[in-house]
Amino acid sequence: MRRRLCALENFLPIAQKDYTSNSSVFSNLYPFPYYGNFIASESHVSNFDLVLNRARLMGTNPFYWETPRLHNVKESTSLQGIQKRVGVGEFLRGEHNGGFDKSRTFYHPGATPQSAMRRPGGPQMPSQGPPMQPNRVSQPIRKKKRYADKLISPQVRELVPESQAYMDLLAFEQKLDATITRKKLDIQEALKRPQKVKKRLRIYISHTFIAGKEPEKEGEEGSVPMWELRVEGRLIEDQNGANAGQTPVPARPMPKRKFSSFFKSLVIELDKDIYGPDNHLVEWHRTPTTNETDGFQVKRPGDRPVKCTILLLLDYQPMKFKLHPRLAKVLGIAAETRPKIIEALWQYIKTHKLQDPVDHDTVNNDTFLEQVFSCKRMRFMEIPQRLHQLLQQPDPLVLSHIIKHNEGGAEKNTACYDIDVEVEDPLKQHMAAFVHAQANTQDIANLDQKIYDVVDQINEWKTRRDFYVRFADHPHEFIRKWLVSQSQDLKTMTEASGEGEAERRADHYYRPETQEGVFRYIYQKVQQKRAELEQGLGVRNN
**pLDDT tens-digit map of 80-122:** 443 444 343 333 333 333 433 433 333 344 443 333 333 334 3
What was the pLDDT predicted at 255?
62
Closest CA to 306 of 400, 392, 446: 400
CA dist., res. 453 & res. 111, Å (int): 19
pLDDT of residue 470 exceeding 50, the answer is yes
Coil vs helix vs strand at 425: coil
CA dist., res. 268 & res. 397, Å (int): 12
Question: Tell me, what DSSP letter sits at residue 254?
Answer: P
Domain coverage including residue 101? 2-132+143-171+441-493
- 477 plus 383 within the same structural domain: no
Provide the whole-model pTM: 0.52
Is 116 in contact with 37 (CB distance < 8 Å)?
Answer: yes
Q: Which secondary structure element, helix H or strand E, spans residue 168, and what is its range?
A: helix 163-192
The amino acid sitting at 62 is: P
pLDDT of residue 12 exceeding 80, the answer is no
- 399 plus 447 within the same structural domain: no
Per the domain annotation, does 181 fall within a domain?
no
Is 339 in contact with 438 (CB distance < 8 Å)?
Answer: no
The residues facing 205 across adjacent strands are 231, 415
pLDDT of residue 11 exceeding 80, the answer is no
In the Cβ-directed half-sphere of 148, how many Cα atoms lie within 13 Å?
1
CA distances (Å), 323 to each of 140, 342, 387, 392, 396, in order?
Answer: 70, 12, 9, 6, 14
Under the phi-then-psi rule, with left for phi > 0, alpha for psi from -120 to 50, and beta for the rest, what region is 83?
A: alpha
pLDDT of residue 74 exceeding 50, the answer is no
- 14 plus 54 within the same structural domain: yes
Residues 6+ positions from 108 with CB-CB distance below 8 Å:
34, 35, 36, 37, 38, 67
Per the domain annotation, does 9 fall within a domain?
yes
Q: Which secondary structure element, helix H or strand E, spans residue 197, and what is its range?
A: strand 196-210
What was the pLDDT predicted at 505?
84
| Mean pLDDT, rounded, for 47-65 | 42
pLDDT of residue 522 exceeding 60, the answer is yes
pLDDT of residue 60 exceeding 90, the answer is no
| Mean pLDDT, rounded, for 472-489 | 90
Residues 6+ positions from 37 with CB-CB distance below 8 Å:
107, 108, 111, 112, 115, 116, 117
What was the pLDDT predicted at 427?
83
Bigger pLDDT: 428 vs 527 = 527
CA dist., res. 156 & res. 14, Å (int): 11
Per the domain annotation, does 378 fall within a domain?
yes
The amino acid sitting at 242 is: A
Residues 6+ positions from 406 with CB-CB distance below 8 Å:
413
- 95 plus 207 within the same structural domain: no
- 383 plus 513 within the same structural domain: no
Q: For 417-432, what is each residue's pLDDT tens digit?
A: 999 998 888 888 888 8
Coil vs helix vs strand at 92: strand
- 231 plus 162 within the same structural domain: no
- 151 plus 208 within the same structural domain: no
Per the domain annotation, does 479 fall within a domain?
yes
- 334 plus 446 within the same structural domain: no
- 332 plus 456 within the same structural domain: no
Bigger pLDDT: 406 vs 354 = 354
Confidence band of 453 (pLDDT split at 50, 70, 90): very high
Residues 6+ positions from 376 with CB-CB distance below 8 Å:
364, 365, 370
Per the domain annotation, does 186 fall within a domain?
no
CA dist., res. 305 & res. 530, Å (int): 141
Report the number of distinct structural domains present in the chain.
Answer: 4
CATH number of residue 401's parent domain: 2.60.40.1970
Is 47 in contact with 31 (CB distance < 8 Å)?
Answer: yes
- 407 plus 382 within the same structural domain: no
Question: Between the CA atoms of 396, 319, 343 and 190, what dihedral angle is there, to the nearest 10 degrees?
Answer: -130
What mean pLDDT value characterizes the chain?
75
Per the domain annotation, does 266 fall within a domain?
yes
Q: Which of 80-89, 363-372, 452-461 has the lowest mean pLDDT?
A: 80-89
CATH number of residue 326's parent domain: 1.10.245.10
- 401 plus 283 within the same structural domain: yes
What was the pLDDT predicted at 499?
73
- 309 plus 329 within the same structural domain: no
| Maximum Cα interatomic distance, the chain, rounded to a whole number of Å | 152
Per the domain annotation, does 498 fall within a domain?
no
pLDDT of residue 293 exceeding 60, the answer is yes
Could you give the percent of the chain with pLDDT greater than 90? 39
Is 127 in contact with 37 (CB distance < 8 Å)?
Answer: no
Phi, psi values for residue 350, rounded to 5°: -70, -40
CA dist., res. 170 & res. 185, Å (int): 23
Q: For 198-253, what is each residue's pLDDT tens digit?
A: 899 999 999 988 877 777 767 667 678 889 999 999 998 754 444 444 444 444 55
Return the axis-axis angle of helices 475-493 and 441-473, rounded to nearest 10°: 120
Could you give the percent of the chain with pLDDT greater than 70? 67
Alpha helices in 58-121 (DSSP H): 79-86
Per the domain annotation, does 191 fall within a domain?
no
DSSP string, 31-43: SS---SS----GG
Bigger pLDDT: 126 vs 13 = 13
pLDDT of residue 394 exceeding 60, the answer is yes
Bigger pLDDT: 198 vs 38 = 198
What was the pLDDT predicted at 264?
93
